Each structure stands twice: as C-alpha cells, then as structure tokens.
Structure 1
Amino acid sequence: MKNKNLIESFLNASRGVLYTIVKERNMKIHLAMSFFVLLLAIWLGVSKVEFAILCLTVAIVLCFELINTAMEVVVDFIVDVYHPKAKIIKDVSAGAVFVSAFFSIIIGVVIMGDKLMLRLIDYIGK
C-alpha cells in the first residue's frame, strides 16, 4: 500500500481527487462555485492578497469535501448496516464541510461585496 516513489504518490492523490469529483455531487458544486468565485475575483480586480485569501478559502472547502468523502467511504466500509454512531461520524464530517463553506461565503462577501455592488451600480447606471 505504500507508494513506491513521488510520482506514484501524486498519481494516487490525483485518483482520490478525481474519485471525489466523479462520485460526489457536492464536490462538483463546490468546484463550479470555486471557479465562478475566482473568475469573479479576477473580473473585480481584487488585490493579490485578497485573491490569495480567496484561493486559500476555496482550498479549505475542497479539502474538507475530500476528507468528508474519505470519512463516508471508511464508515461505509466498516459498518454495513445502519448504526447511530456511524451516522454521527458522517454528520460531523459533513458539518465540517458546511462550516467551511458557510465561512467561505462570508469571506467572499467581505472581500468582493463592495466591489461587486459598485460594479453593478456602474453597469446599471450606464
């Protein structure tokens, strides 16, 4: 199970990301929203520091979604019937994704809200 070299390590990590993208609807949603937010940030001309904060925020949400998927797979592998503690593990893991996504929205609004409003007001005023 141990990776033989660095290339194999990267390939296995890529397979994990790809698995999550293919199998998890929420990962597709997070990726689409991340792409939209980063394009919006570029369009609004956020500073380098603001863009870096947005990238870090996006990365945190995506990483939590990867961890959530891993937790769900592990729980499903170990517990093949409903168990209340298995449900708690899955719910807490999903909660971590929810909290990170919720605060990413707040960070996005704080960084881009004023710029977006000014851009929209300018656009409507023309």
Structure 2
Amino acid sequence: MRRRLTSSFGYAFEGIKYVLKTQPNMKIHSVIGLFAILAGFFFKLSEAEWLAIVIVIGFVLILEVVNTAVETLVDLYTEEYHHLAKVSKDTAAGAVLLMAIVSVVVGLIIFLPKIWDMIAPLIFK
C-alpha cells in the first residue's frame, strides 16, 4: 500500500516535470505566478487576497497540465488531421486561456488599488 502511494506521487511529479520541461506556456504561467506571489509579499496581501491569488494561480497551472494531457492523448490517437481532434485540442487550450484571463482580472482587482495607493502620492505632490 505504502509503495503504491509513493509510486503514485512519483508518477504525478514526473507528469508535472514533463509539462514544465516541454510546454513553454507552463513556464510562462509559472513565472507570472511567481511574480504575483512576490508582489503579494511586497504589498502585504490580506488573507482573502492571498486565497484568491493562490486559487487562480493553481487553476491556471492545473489547466495547463490537463491541456497537455489532452493534447498528448490526441496526438497518441492520431497523427492525421481530424476535425474532432482539433476541437479537443482547441477547447482544452481555450480553458487555459479563459482561466488566464480570469487570473489577470483577479490580479488587477487586487493589485491595481495597491499600486495606485503607492504612486498617487508621487503624482499628486
């Protein structure tokens, strides 16, 4: 039982490592997520703000992993063009894009007022 659990975690980490190594968008999302976390420390986010940031970063990264799984599975199934294969890949990529847009909106809602509070005194001396 313990060995199976350890193996499961190992396979999961291999999957994450594969996505990080092979998918440029995963690298981009990870860097932007890290930047948001650093900005969160800089601006001393509230507990609720942290929760929102962590959730949206998590969802973007999770969807990128799922998107890679869908694309890989479709590629395994067929190398020929098929309309439904395209639809499958496009909708999985669309899910990532939608979540990335949502995460940007959440980031703007949280960070813009803090940035404004920091620069407004410099502008309106």
| TM-score with structure 2 setting the length | 0.92
Could you say if the C-alpha distance between residues 111 and 82 of structure 1 is closer, same or farther in structure 2, counting changes exceeding 3 Å?
A: same
- Contiguous gaps of at least 5 residues in structure 1: none
Q: Alpha-carbon deviation of 1:85? A: 1.0
Instruction: Indicate the residue corresponding to 1:10 in structure 2.
Output: 9
Asked if the contact 1:20/1:66 (under 8 Å) is kept, the reply is yes
Q: Alpha-carbon deviation of 1:125? A: 7.0
Instruction: Indicate the residue corresponding to 1:81 in structure 2.
Output: 80
1:53-105, Cα deviation, whole Å (9 max, x unpaired)? 10011000000000000000000000111111111100000000000000000
Instruction: Indicate the residue corresponding to 1:121 in structure 2.
Output: 120
Root-mean-square deviation (Å) = 1.7
- Contiguous gaps of at least 5 residues in structure 2: none
Could you say if the C-alpha distance between residues 15 and 125 of structure 1 is closer, same or farther in structure 2, counting changes exceeding 3 Å?
A: farther
Partner amino acid, structure 2, of 1:116: I
Structure 1 CA distance for aligned equivalents of residues 100 and 25 of structure 2:
11
Deviates more, 1:39-48 or 1:17-26: 39-48
Q: How many residues align?
A: 124
Could you say if the C-alpha distance between residues 56 and 111 of structure 1 is closer, same or farther in structure 2, counting changes exceeding 3 Å?
A: same
1:49-64 aligned within 5 A? 49-64=48-63
Structure 2 CA distance for aligned equivalents of residues 122 and 109 of structure 1:
20
Structure 1 CA distance for aligned equivalents of residues 71 and 84 of structure 2:
12
Structure 1 CA distance for aligned equivalents of residues 28 and 7 of structure 2:
28
Partner amino acid, structure 2, of 1:100: M
Could you say if the C-alpha distance between residues 40 and 123 of structure 1 is closer, same or farther in structure 2, counting changes exceeding 3 Å?
A: farther
Percent sequence identity over matched residues?
33
Partner amino acid, structure 2, of 1:97: V
Structure 1 outlier segments of 4+, above 6 Å: none
